[in-house]
Structure 1
């Protein structure tokens, strides 16, 4: 195991919370501490090209499973020891085949993992045997019906247990959105309309002689206890679906705008204009999904915006961003918020473990994690 430390202490003014000391209101402060863990690959080459976008954590967050499409294995990373613990083999084709395209992973139980494809999900045990497979588009579901113009947006689909899949449904004609909750055993669908019409203002389409490309705002759906939390990148609104009711939480972001407000072209024939508009949109504030800290009973949410673009405007990496962190109580009341001065790029794959925010980094082709400790005083 290799571990290097970078300690940064930042006492930053927080905009909303206060503590009472006698009759004096003292503004709260957030203190950040960072250190870095590098994973020992044990003479293997870990797959880092996808930035852990096809990875999953176990329930205790001891093991991270990273899919390697080069050899169709799951790289089992022991996060407690900082080492590659095992490589679990899977098949690409055949009765136990994962398939040619894998867009996501969901660890369902200690020995059940779901591979998410374009319009299907395969459920496997960790020995590589396929237990079941389900196709979720072009089916006549029981319960709520899907219109011909509706479809699941495959990048947001995930399985939350052995029989439940959730995802975002978009009506391509009406330009409306819904949360889809699908019981794959009974093939029964529940649709929950979502107030996401504003997302359409930030959907871009490139139709050039060389290629066709779509750019859509990110929507994240996650299960928290018995509820589903839905968020998107263009607004700080948080939706909570629980017991057949949908609650919308809006809060004022005194450090940033509450949402994107720019007006952009939607259709492009020129690739340079398409890329430039995408960068311009990211100069506005972008919101990431909330994360739950079980140890501290808090939610964290990053937001960010580009503040500097280098000479190579074609390269999205050649940018510098301001990164902010908002801290909430369990009911999503804002406790504190601050600029995170130690970060100048938005977190990629990140999660909370042991009371710290873990953020994936690629350090000279080695897998690593920056661990951010957040203390509020």
Structure 2
């Protein structure tokens, strides 16, 4: 087993802040006022196998105990089961591309661990839940002609399983179907037995679509879009967008969503400078993308089970300048919330020039992906308050 320990980095930061929330009372004070951290880097031992990192860890998820890190390799259609306590590749779990138990031969949009060591795979062609033996145990492919979802746009029906989440009994599905051409995203609630559903409004996230850029010319078509995250944390669902600090929360089976909005003191609460959404040249496309990226952007929610706190990173990318191939650098910020999403702290992190990659909390420490000479590694951040 390989374990690399990098020099420890300590940062002490101080500032003042305030918070406001429409749904709950905001707390005064700032838990990040005397915030510091140290970082070590550890590397996973793959044994005699290879962990393919050509796409980073995009298709990864964790089990309930944060012991196992499941990384899907689309090239081989197998899942690498990695023991984070021992830092070893423990097993490689194969799946078929085609046939009755096939997970899909084309781009897999979602690969996610489910309790009981089952896995959800979703693509534009098919969606289903598979057991560890590679057998499909539940087909979740939602064909537009077989389902009636009231209020759903016609184009959005063709990616109705986007970011799909299920109720505990697997009878209700929630998803975020979107219209790539128009830049709209909707929240759909679908009764899988009745084959019917409806759209639940999420207007606070409409601004995400205002920063989607479409390049369409005779030669090519390109799309830039800001991410919307649909997460399940502690039995509740959370929806957030990179363009705004607003967050929706709701429980499986419910139709009412609770909206949380915040008044940050260090950064704008959302992107403010409008962009041109439809362009006809690559030069225009890159210029508008630069305009979007150099405004505030927010990452998905992180939850620390030990402290019962939520965290969220923010970043503002620096302009590329004359060298478009130069590595992206950003101002990085960290925001803290209590268990009910009251804002309780915010700080700048001047020692970082990018947000952690695919971060998650484990045993009270923040882990994030790093590539260490083509080996799977993690930067482990120990937070001090």
TM-score (norm 1): 0.89
Of the three residues 120, 126, 129, the one matched with 1:120 is: 126
Question: Cα offset for 1:49?
Answer: 1.7
Structure 2 CA distance for partners of 1:171 and 1:267, relative to 1, 3 Å: closer
| Structure 1 counterpart of 2:73 | 68
Q: Deviations over 1:141-160 (max 9, x none)?
A: 36745343543656841334
Unaligned runs of 5+ in 1: 18-24
Structure 2 CA distance for partners of 1:152 and 1:31, relative to 1, 3 Å: farther
1:157 matched to 2:163: yes
Q: Check whether the contact 1:105–1:114 (CA below 8 A) recurs between aligned residues.
A: yes
| Structure 1 counterpart of 2:2 | 2
Question: Cα offset for 1:187?
Answer: 3.0
Computed over aligned residues only, the root mean square deviation of the Cα atoms, in angstroms, reads 2.7
Query: What SS is found at the alignment partner of 2:12?
Result: strand
Distance 2:354 2:323 in 1: 16
The worse-fitting range, judged by mean Cα deviation, of 49-58 and 267-276 is 267-276
1:81 matched to 2:82: no
1:229 matched to 2:234: no
| Structure 1 counterpart of 2:137 | 131
Distance 1:231 1:95 in 2: 35
Distance 1:271 1:244 in 2: 42
1:57 matched to 2:62: yes
Q: Check whether the contact 1:8–1:34 (CA below 8 A) recurs between aligned residues.
A: yes
Of the three residues 322, 325, 340, the one matched with 2:331 is: 322
| Structure 2 counterpart of 1:296 | 307
Distance 1:267 1:84 in 2: 45
In the TM superposition, 1:1-377 aligns within 5 A as 1-3=1-3, 4-16=5-17, 28-101=33-106, 102-141=108-147, 144=150, 146-151=152-157, 156-160=162-166, 161=168, 162-170=170-178, 177-195=185-203, 196-242=205-251, 243-309=254-320, 311-313=322-324, 315=325, 318-376=327-385
Question: Cα offset for 1:355?
Answer: 0.9
Question: Cα offset for 1:302?
Answer: 0.4
Distance 1:172 1:366 in 2: 35
Structure 2 CA distance for partners of 1:175 and 1:95, relative to 1, 3 Å: closer
Query: What SS is found at the alignment partner of 2:291?
Result: helix
Query: What SS is found at the alignment partner of 2:33?
Result: strand
The worse-fitting range, judged by mean Cα deviation, of 178-187 and 75-84 is 178-187
Question: Cα offset for 1:178?
Answer: 2.9
Question: Cα offset for 1:193?
Answer: 0.5
Q: Check whether the contact 2:104–2:125 (CA below 8 A) recurs between aligned residues.
A: no
Unaligned runs of 5+ in 2: 19-29
Distance 2:221 2:31 in 1: 55
Higher relative contact order (CA 8 A, sep 6+): 2
Structure 2 CA distance for partners of 1:278 and 1:172, relative to 1, 3 Å: closer
Q: Check whether the contact 2:144–2:158 (CA below 8 A) recurs between aligned residues.
A: no
Distance 2:297 2:182 in 1: 25
More strand by share: 1
Distance 2:134 2:32 in 1: 54
Q: Check whether the contact 2:44–2:87 (CA below 8 A) recurs between aligned residues.
A: yes
Question: Cα offset for 1:356?
Answer: 1.4
Query: What SS is found at the alignment partner of 2:318?
Result: strand
Between the two proteins, the alignment pairs up a number of residues equal to 369
| Structure 2 counterpart of 1:20 | none
Q: Deviations over 1:200-227 (max 9, x none)?
A: 3211111134321222221111123343
The worse-fitting range, judged by mean Cα deviation, of 297-306 and 317-326 is 317-326
Question: Cα offset for 1:306?
Answer: 0.9
Q: Deviations over 1:71-103 (max 9, x none)?
A: 221111111111111111111122221111211
Query: What SS is found at the alignment partner of 1:281?
Result: helix
Q: Check whether the contact 2:142–2:160 (CA below 8 A) recurs between aligned residues.
A: no
Query: What SS is found at the alignment partner of 1:128?
Result: coil
The worse-fitting range, judged by mean Cα deviation, of 168-177 and 81-90 is 168-177
Structure 2 CA distance for partners of 1:41 and 1:344, relative to 1, 3 Å: same
Distance 2:84 2:180 in 1: 42
Q: Deviations over 1:153-195 (max 9, x none)?
A: 5684133454443221346899754322334344342421111
